[in-house]
Amino acid sequence: MSEIIEKGKELAFLLRHDKEYDFPSDGWRTIEDLVANHGFTEEMIETIVETNNKKRFEYNDDKTCVRARQGHSINVDVDLEEVVPTESLYHGTSTKVVDSILKEGINKNHK
């Protein structure tokens, strides 16, 4: 796997699940922290943010911070617009958890 893919996975973890980092309520993490403490370069972060086909990440206005747009296990508010879902929703999953999902709903314990 390429270095960018591996670092993209690491960035996703650091922005969505890192319980050691003191995130502000809106979920931003400084580029300075990622460069100084996690082996990223500014160029690497920019490549990951700009080339992610699912648009998982975004910069703040002056590009000094980055955050994940969704999928957090930590408590942050990324100010997503609330929408009314369509009548039918689809969720891709493995067959081994279908019964559990139908019984309990979708939750982070399904693996």
Whether 83 maps to a domain, the answer reads no
Residues in the chain: 111
- pTM, two decimals, is 0.71
Four-CA torsion 57, 59, 32, 16, nearest 10 degrees? -30
Total structural domains in the chain?
Answer: 1
pLDDT tens, 47-69? 999 998 888 999 999 999 999 98
Whether 45 maps to a domain, the answer reads yes
State the pLDDT at residue 84: 87
Whether 60 maps to a domain, the answer reads yes
pLDDT tens, 2-51? 888 999 999 999 999 999 999 988 899 999 999 999 999 999 999 999 99
Q: Which residues constitute the domain of residue 51? A: 3-68
Indicate which CATH number applies to the domain containing 31: 1.10.10.970
Whether 59 maps to a domain, the answer reads yes
Which pLDDT band holds residue 110 (cuts at 50, 70, 90)?
low
Calpha distance 92→101 (Å, rounded): 11
